[in-house]
Amino acid sequence: MYWQPEIETLPRTEIKNIQKDRLAKILEYCYQKIPFYREKFDEEGVKPSDFEHLEDITKFPFTVKDDLRKAYPYKMFAVPLKEIVRVHASSGTTGQITVVGYTKNDIEVWSELMARTLVACGVTEDDVVQNAYGYGLFTGGLGFHYGAERVGATVIPISGGNTKRQVQIMKDFGTTILTCTPSYSLYVAEVAEEEGVDLKKLNLKAGIFGAEPWSENMRSEIEERLNLDARDIYGLSEVIGPGVSVECEAKDGLHIFEDHFFVEIIDPETGEQKPYGERGELVITTLTKEGIPVVRYRTRDLTVLNPEPCSCGRHFVRMAKVTGRADDMLIIRGVNVFPSQIEEILMQIEGVEPHYQILVYREDHLDVLEVQVEVNEKIFSDEVKRLLEIESKIKQEIQSALGVSSKVKLVEPKTIARSEGKAKRVIDQRVI
Amino acid sequence: MFVKQVSVFLENKEGRLYEVCHVLGDAGINIRALCIAETADYGVVRMIVSDPEKAISVLRNSGFTVSETDVLAVVVPDKPGGLAQVLRILKDAMINVEYLYCFIEPGTDRAIDIMRVENTEAAINVLKDGNVEILTPAEVYGI
Amino acid sequence: MSIWSPEYETMPEEQLRELQLKRLRWVAHWVYERLSFYRKKFDEVKLRPEDITSLEDLKNLPFISKDELRKNYPFGMFAVPLDNVVRIHSSSGTTGKPVVVGYTRGDLNTWSEVVARIASAAGVKKGDICQIAFGYGLFTGGFGLHYGLERIGATVIPVSAGQTERQINIMMDFGSTVLVCTPSYALHLAEVAEGMGVKKGDLRLRVGLFGAEPWSENMRREIEERLGIFATDNYGLTEVIGPGIAGECQERNGLHINEDHFLVEVINPDTGEAVEMGESGELVFTSLTREAFPVIRFRTRDLSRLIPGSCPCGRTFVRMERVKGRTDDMIIVRGVNIFPSQVESALLEIEGVEPHFQIVVDKKGHLDELEVRVEVEEAFFPDAMRKLVEFQKKVEDKLMASLGVRTKVTLVEPRTIGRTAGKAKRVIDKRMY
């Protein structure tokens, strides 16, 4: 099923023509409207008019997350604030947040792309969509919300958490589509079992899962336990949010909406472009964004592109499921967390010494972020309530800055292994 | 009048308490009284020992997180209502007891209560006025 | 200040009543034909929709209560098939089941329109940067304001609730000009901001759209003083539409009710009789344009009064005074409606909990804090902290799942909660407004 068949089934040659026209325009737009790009292009001695063929894109410099951070809050906006109708942002301590703005037209495009995504997963206006992605500055919740509304489905904007209630509503409201992170869907299955609710007997039809890596094994488990068709989606707030690519019924790679995004694969070390079929870092240029367009944005996500025609009839290039990162970013329950952010938070708390360790594991299918902090004599007290206060302070600060809950564990000194004098900061025990 | 209590941070897992006692034993330090305040993940071990300074130093050398707290050692008659009598004095003076643990002095009919109170100075004054005997550090360590 | 829809908001009285009558007849037909619940009510008093020839005729119909809506859980009160429903929200129920409300595309359009009106009346315009600190989700607060402000063309920052320091950083760095939250949260923000060393001059706040809980003129002054903001009140409830039923204009002498969409009555809560214009009583609403979830004579349990006379702002819509209280035992905690009976039914499902509890509502700083004291059966009192903490968490999770708001659970010994004449005093509300 297609939402916009005339576009989604365009032959590759035509897709490439559209991309060429739009790339030329967006490079000019960025150069004219955003000082950052003008300076950067000038530095590299490249002009928008140097772009004539798709291959010419490699003449242009990359944009990295740090560039967006430094532009905090509005320096990457290509239009006056008055034209921005929505602002989203990534989590992070001040100065680490990336802010993205959308014009009315950006919201329109985003809704269309999410409608394509949902329809590719089989959603129609008869469906009841339980949207368990978190709402707020995070793009997941509102992205799905506007897409499902565009399709005309019934939206239950339940947001994340409160799993017993999720199960109750799934049963009582006859939910047909579940949208959340893949690991959360397994947790929902777990809670449903505890509550004596047989998910297989409910109306669930499809699950649209994203915001974290997952495997084919997990897919089989989810499909088996929830009795639904489990699809993967991909997106990132710097580019638009969810709505960059989606799996069709063939479940053999995620179709990238190439009329709005131009993608490349590069060697993360050298920055050299790699041919189709080779694994590397995904780089995206937005073709139609007005609020914050990005040129050659390095996602740090590792994947492979496949341009072969697909049985679904779409000719959009497919990317393999993202299974790794080119940096140390962690994804905790769909939230992106950098170890450096946690370190920064700990350093700001009086008396806490830099002996800490971040442990990530799964408990009942859900990610747990455990921060172990060695107790030194500055924070130790004979009164238990003081120790509890420190724990809860660290927890609160992490929640406040990163938007993710954590487990803080005070441990005895020197229990955290030090290798060659330097502690191993992150231990990720998850098996995806 | 303050007695030094030694407190140690311990994770709530097997063998840790043994480790503390073992270290103290090796150093020839006697534990007079001990109590544990526990949470789900860790505990605070509070002790009165024969030589607090030495205890702190050997524990630190063994890598434990240690602190020293001023507490009161109060003599309580070892009979029904003995402790209540003492606590009544504090209650009347509106002094809150943070925690308390006690032990019985061998060969005597008196119990010794280790108390941590909100306002130690004030507590000493009212207890003395109420004719409650407060032990000196030397007396406690030497028991 | 600009009036968003002058053709309606300043409509001459006579014309407005005509429009209301026309719409009342429409909604009467709509519910009569589609919902047996309403057909029965009409038939009982032998009234047919076409018999309605004046607004007075509405008074022949019985009231409907929240409990009746709840009994039709989940979709029994939807007047359209589910495939025409594009959104679902829900409000808390008195016991267990919530009231589920549905919206058609047309209803969402109406909702955005009425919220755009109250936001404009408060002074919001395109170019404003609006920080929405209401929770998004099944609660109508976040989405109601979100769509209304989007309609105006303002910049919406959908921060959602919580993470106060982050809210303040965003407020400063993003240059927010409009703040949307509960009044008590506004004061909490002010307090935390001061603690962070933020000066009034560091903020660009201009207009506050506050609602979802009762507040006083004193609180208004304090909020305005500390945040340098023009603070306005608005009113709504999920069963009728959500926020957007009424809002203050620049005069701030009452909240204009969007009368072209909502017909208001004020009754004596004991007798059900209409009170005189200007007298206090319980608000009763009839939705005139809702398609998916129409309500006829819904008793809100909110106490207020209508203000006679015209308003200098030019709007002809009648004004209601800010809500002064409730006629039932519902309490509002951080904007969330809670019934003591809900707490009771949740606790009864947990093994080891005695059916004796007490709800203590207090303010910590400016924020509501909900504490539930629960008596635990002796046999269940664990001696190890680890087990005690687990048990407490279990009770907290259960309450969170059923109330949708975090509670602090305090386990107390059996027979320690005071009983008056055999029955425990269930709620202790220590808050002052």
Same domain, B128 and B96: yes
Pick the range with the lowest mean pLDDT from A14-23, A356-365, C69-78, C374-383: C374-383
Domain count, chain A: 2
DSSP bridge partners of A422: A419
Residue ending a domain, choose from B40, B69, B98:
B69
Task: Give me C344's structure tokens.
Answer: 């009771």
The predicted pLDDT at position C426 comes to 83
Task: Give me B88's structure tokens.
Answer: 């009544």
Q: Is the pLDDT of residue A420 over 70?
A: no
Residue ending a domain, choose from A307, A327, A347:
A327
The predicted pLDDT at position B39 comes to 83
The string of pLDDT tens digits covering residues C122-154 is: 999 999 999 999 999 999 999 999 999 999 999
- Tell whether C192 is within 8 A of chain A (Cβ): no
Same domain, B33 and B50: yes
Is the pLDDT higher at C295 or at A425?
A: C295
Mean pLDDT computed over every residue of chain C = 92
Contact B9 A380 (CB under 8 A): yes
Contact A380 B67 (CB under 8 A): yes
Same domain, A273 and A344: no
Choose the closest CB to A412 out of B7, B11, B116: B11
Pick the range with the lowest mean pLDDT from A128-132, A381-385, A426-430, C37-41: A381-385
| Residue labelled with tokens 């803080």 | A408
Contact A135 C158 (CB under 8 A): yes
- Characterize C355-393 residue by residue with b for buried, 16 or more Cβ atoms within 10 angstroms of its Cβ, and e for exposed: ebbbbebeeeebbbbbebbbbbeeeeeeeebeebeebbe
Contact B63 A376 (CB under 8 A): no
Task: Give me A271's structure tokens.
Answer: 């920055």
| Residue labelled with tokens 């087990």 | C387
Question: Residue C91 — pLDDT band, cuts 50, 70, 90?
Answer: confident
Same domain, A290 and A355: no
Phi-psi region of C163 (alpha: psi -120 to 50; beta: other; left: phi over 0): left
Peptide bond into A61 cis (omega under 30): no
Choose the closest CB to A149 out of C86, C142, C165: C86
What share of chain A has pLDDT > 90, as a percent?
79
The predicted pLDDT at position C420 comes to 57
Q: Please give the model's pTM, rounded to 2 decimal places.
A: 0.88
Contact A72 C173 (CB under 8 A): yes
Question: Residue C162 — pLDDT band, cuts 50, 70, 90?
Answer: confident
Same domain, A181 and A271: yes
Chain C residues inside the 8 Å CB shell of A401: 165-166
What is the domain extent for residue B42? 3-69
Residue ending a domain, choose from A312, A327, A342:
A327
Residue ending a domain, choose from B13, B45, B69:
B69
DSSP classification of residue A425 = -
The predicted pLDDT at position B20 comes to 94
- Tell whether C364 is within 8 A of chain A (Cβ): no
Task: Give me B110's structure tokens.
Answer: 């008196």
Same domain, B78 and B63: no
What share of chain C has pLDDT > 90, as a percent?
72
Same domain, A288 and A223: yes
- CATH code of the domain covering residue B100: 3.30.2130.10
CB-count burial class (<10 Å; 0-12, 13-18, 19+) for C181: buried
The predicted pLDDT at position A85 comes to 98
Pick the range with the lowest mean pLDDT from A200-209, A325-334, C49-58: A325-334
The string of pLDDT tens digits covering residues A31-44 is: 999 999 999 999 99
Q: Which domains does chain C have, with CATH numbers?
A: 1-328 (3.40.50.12780), 336-429 (3.30.300.30)
Is the pLDDT higher at A406 or at C336?
A: A406
State the smallest CA–CA distance between residue A352 and chain B in angstroms.
Answer: 13
Question: Residue A348 — pLDDT band, cuts 50, 70, 90?
Answer: confident
Mean pLDDT computed over every residue of chain A = 93
Give the chain A residue nearest C103 (alpha carbons): A154
The string of pLDDT tens digits covering residues C344-379 is: 888 888 888 877 889 999 988 888 999 999 887 777
Contact C137 A99 (CB under 8 A): no
| Chain A, chain B: beta-carbon pairs less than 8 Å apart | 52
Residue ending a domain, choose from A272, A292, A327:
A327
Q: Is the pLDDT of residue C93 over 80?
A: no
What is the domain extent for residue A374? 330-428
Same domain, B75 and B87: yes
Q: Is the pLDDT of residue C422 over 60?
A: no
Q: How far apart are CA C223 and CA C231, in angstroms?
A: 7
Same domain, A11 and A73: yes
Choose the closest CB to A159 out of C137, C150, C157: C137
Same domain, A311 and A335: no
What residues have CB less than 8 Å from C198, skipping those under 6 apart?
C168, C172
Chain centroid to Cα C8, Å, comes to 24
Same domain, B133 and B93: yes
The string of pLDDT tens digits covering residues B89-141 is: 999 999 999 899 988 887 888 899 999 998 889 999 999 999 999 999 988 88
Q: Is the pLDDT of residue C421 over 60?
A: no
Q: Is the pLDDT of residue C416 over 80?
A: no
The predicted pLDDT at position A173 comes to 97
CA distance to A104, A190, A257, B140, per residue, from A245 (Å) = 22, 29, 6, 74
Residue type, A143: G
Residue type, A239: V
Task: Give me C40's structure tokens.
Answer: 């029965």
- CATH code of the domain covering residue A419: 3.30.300.30
- CATH code of the domain covering residue A280: 3.40.50.12780
What does the pLDDT average to over A191-198?
Answer: 94
Torsion angle of C-alpha atoms C181, C186, C188, C189, degrees rounded to 10: 90
DSSP classification of residue A55 = G
Same domain, B37 and B87: no
Domain count, chain B: 2
Partners of chain A (3+ Cβ pairs below 8 A): B, C
What does the pLDDT average to over B32-59?
Answer: 92
Q: Is the pLDDT of residue A79 over 70?
A: yes
- Tell whether A383 is within 8 A of chain B (Cβ): yes
Choose the closest CB to C155 out of A85, A153, A158: A85
Task: Give me C254's structure tokens.
Answer: 């009452």
Contact B67 A382 (CB under 8 A): yes
ipTM of the complex: 0.91
Q: Is the pLDDT of residue C310 over 90?
A: yes
Same domain, A210 and A292: yes
The predicted pLDDT at position C419 comes to 64
Same domain, A293 and A242: yes
Contact, A153 vs A128, CB < 8 A? yes
The predicted pLDDT at position B118 comes to 85
State the smallest CA–CA distance between residue B12 and chain C in angstroms.
Answer: 10
Same domain, A350 and A302: no
The predicted pLDDT at position A421 comes to 53
What does the pLDDT average to over C28-35?
Answer: 97
Choose the closest CB to B39 out of A384, A411, A415: A384
Same domain, B45 and B107: no
The predicted pLDDT at position B105 comes to 82
Best of C383, C386, C387 to mutate (most B CBs within 10 Å, chain B): C386
Q: How far apart are CA A111 and CA A114, in angstroms?
A: 5
Neighbouring C-beta atoms of residue A330, cutoff 10 Å: 21
Question: Residue A419 — pLDDT band, cuts 50, 70, 90?
Answer: low
What does the pLDDT average to over A52-80?
Answer: 96
State the smallest CA–CA distance between residue A58 and chain C in angstroms.
Answer: 34
State the smallest CA–CA distance between residue C186 and chain B in angstroms.
Answer: 36
In 3-state terms, what secondary structure has residue A138?
A: coil
Contact, C168 vs C193, CB < 8 A? yes
State the smallest CA–CA distance between residue B51 and chain C in angstroms.
Answer: 31
Same domain, A287 and A382: no
The string of pLDDT tens digits covering residues C251-291 is: 999 999 999 999 999 999 999 999 999 999 999 999 999 99
DSSP classification of residue C121 = H
Same domain, A205 and A297: yes
Same domain, B83 and B97: yes
- Tell whether C136 is within 8 A of chain A (Cβ): yes
Q: Is the pLDDT of residue A47 over 90?
A: yes
DSSP bridge partners of C363: C368
Question: Residue A94 — pLDDT band, cuts 50, 70, 90?
Answer: low
At C95, give phi and psi (nearest 5°). Answer: -135, 130
Same domain, A145 and A246: yes
Angle at C429 between CA C426 and CA C433, to 5 degrees: 160
Pick the range with the lowest mean pLDDT from A264-273, A415-424, C245-254, C347-356: A415-424
